[in-house]
Structure 1
Amino acid sequence: MSVQLRPSQALRLWQQVSLAEVRGKAPDLTERQLAILLTIYLDPPPHTVRGLAEKLDVSKPVITRALDTMGALKLVSRHRDPNDRRNVLIKRTVEGALFVERFGDVVVAKSAELPL
């Protein structure tokens, strides 16, 4: 299924989702944090700091800082890879799954409100 939006509609959708997030009670994530979180929840695991840094084309410290914030919010957790102690595995959490599901619901709801 493909949804065709004009650029102005796509921007309006993004604006409406952003406004809903800012007005809501959910944690206020940066664009980068949200991109990392969605990658963790939408792409199949395993996820590592190194792998996320490569995928998002940022440094490992950038990923680590974002994960610090998201870890404090219990959206993700980090564990040493038992097979290679140099790697840090990023794990999904119940709180994070609920955040992503709710975020998806907001996107769907706001897209339904778009004028045709």
Structure 2
Amino acid sequence: MPVDLTPSQALGLWHEVTLQQVHEDGRDLTLRQLAILLEIYLVPPPHTVRGLAARLGVTKPVITRALDTMGEQGLVTRMRDERDRRNVVIKRTVDGALYLERLGDLIIAGGRKLAP
């Protein structure tokens, strides 16, 4: 059942969730990296550097730098598109799915604390 939150409650929930995520996971994703990761996992594939750049309104080098970091952390992988070698396809990983599942669990737990 959805909970109606005030802006202050929503920010408090986000604050609690981000603190827990930092303490428990140790990965330090930027807001942009998190937005990219959510796009990759919540929107059906395929995902390309070009497509992500267009979706987020940033340049391809910005996406590439973010993917470099997320790739080092095991959250995503990249490979050349065999049909069009100019494109780089971004793939999901088990670690990335588990990271976001845990984030979702933290959000649900925090929301339950706010429920009447």
Q: Is the TM-score greater than 0.5?
A: yes
Q: Which amino acid aligns with 1:101?
A: E
Aligned-CA RMSD value = 1.4
Q: Which amino acid aligns with 1:102?
A: R
> Where has structure 1 moved over 6 Å in runs of 4 or more?
none
- Following superposition, the deviation at residue 9 of structure 1 comes to 1.1
Match of 1:106 in 2: 106
Q: State the distance in 2 between where 1:8 and 1:84 align.
A: 47
Cα deviation code 1:77-104 (max 9, x no counterpart): 0000001000000000111111111111
- Determine if the alignment matches structure 1 residue 84 to structure 2 residue 106: no
TM-score between the two structures when normalised by the length of structure 2:
0.93
Kept in 1, the 8 Å contact 2:50–2:60? The answer is yes
Counting matched residue pairs gives: 116
- Determine if the alignment matches structure 1 residue 17 to structure 2 residue 17: yes
Unaligned runs of 5+ in 1: none
Q: State the distance in 2 between where 1:16 and 1:115 align.
A: 15
TM-score between the two structures when normalised by the length of structure 1:
0.93
Q: Identify the range of structure 1 (67-76 vs 106-115) with the bigger mean alpha-carbon deviation.
A: 106-115
Alignment CA distance shift 1:108-1:115 (3 Å):
closer
**Greater strand percent: which structure?**
1
